[in-house]
């Protein structure tokens, strides 16, 4: 009788261990997918902000296409296939949002200076079936902002990502480019001289704020 009880207990313990191991495998897969989606959302938001910075020279459709292209590229590089739901929004400082699509050829709203991106997709779970769950929703979001450094408050986690082509064209190897806390850029030449670019009305560099939104 004791031998039969031992066999039953061992079988139950193995089942429990298999279920725990299965959940660990599912959790690891979902974490990996979520990490990939976050990278894709970050890249998409940054690409969209760069296009949005063109102002009246671009369209909402062009912003969407830049976002979608970067996201799809990131997903493909990581072998993420199947359908993902991608939504993109333009925002202003007041928090007003406008959803954008690939069918809207209008210019961006005049005060929009942020791009927010959301990605959602269902992922099949193998061992969640024991609890009646066949899939889990995985998602990520990111926001990128562009603007002029002197208009932003301190400690805004802002870094320069774009410098006017005129500055790059006139710089040589060995020169040092200095981006000031304001509107001006200075190129310190290797011969000891320097050239300064930018005025208050026409700053010659762009800024981006890059952060997660969820």
- Residues 166 and 140 occupy one common structural domain: no
* Predicted confidence band of residue 152 (pLDDT cuts 50, 70, 90): low
Nearest alpha carbon to residue 94 among 70, 112, 119, 115 = 112
- Tell me what the mean pLDDT of segment 157-170 comes to: 65
Which structure tokens are listed for 126? 């193998």
- Residues 133 and 88 occupy one common structural domain: yes
Q: Above 80 in pLDDT, residue 72?
A: yes
For the segment 21-51, what is each residue's pLDDT rounded down to a tens digit?
Answer: 667 777 778 888 999 999 999 999 999 998 9
pLDDT of residue 15: 66
Query: Which residues neighbour 131 within 8 Å (Cβ) at sequence distance 6 or greater?
Result: none
Whether 48 is in a domain gets the answer yes
Q: What is the mean pLDDT of the chain?
A: 79
Which structure tokens are listed for 62? 């062009």
- Residues 49 and 131 occupy one common structural domain: yes
- Residues 140 and 166 occupy one common structural domain: no
**Burial annotation 50-74 (CB, 10 A radius, 16+ → b, else e):** bbbbeeeebbbebbbebbbebbeeb
- Residues 35 and 126 occupy one common structural domain: yes
Q: Which of 104, 124, 145 is the last residue of a domain?
A: 145
Distance CA 199, CA 113 (A): 21
Measuring CA to CA, how many Å separate 210 from each of 2, 52, 122, 159, 195? Answer: 64, 14, 26, 9, 30
87 lies in which domain range? 2-145
């Amino acid at each position: 009788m004791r031998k039969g009880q031992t066999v039953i207990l061992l079988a139950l313990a193995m089942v429990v261990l298999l279920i725990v191991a299965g959940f660990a495998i599912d959790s690891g897969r979902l974490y990996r997918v979520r990490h990939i989606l976050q990278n894709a959302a970050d890249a998409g938001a940054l690409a969209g902000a760069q296009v949005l910075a063109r102002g009246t020279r671009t369209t909402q459709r062009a912003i969407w296409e830049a976002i979608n292209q970067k996201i799809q590229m990131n997903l493909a590089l990581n072998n993420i296939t199947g359908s993902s739901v991608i939504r993109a929004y333009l925002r202003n400082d007041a928090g007003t949002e406008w959803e954008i699509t690939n069918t809207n050829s209008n210019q961006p709203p005049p005060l929009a200076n942020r791009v927010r991106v959301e990605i959602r997709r269902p992922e099949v779970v193998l061992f969640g079936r024991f609890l009646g769950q066949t899939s889990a929703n995985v998602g990520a979001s990111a926001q990128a902002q562009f603007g002029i450094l002197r208009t932003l408050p301190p400690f805004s986690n802002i870094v320069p990502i774009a410098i006017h082509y005129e500055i790059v064209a006139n710089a040589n190897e060995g020169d040092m480019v200095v981006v000031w806390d304001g509107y001006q850029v200075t190129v310190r030449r290797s011969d000891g001289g320097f050239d300064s670019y930018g005025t208050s009305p026409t700053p010659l560099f762009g800024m981006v704020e890059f952060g997660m939104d969820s």
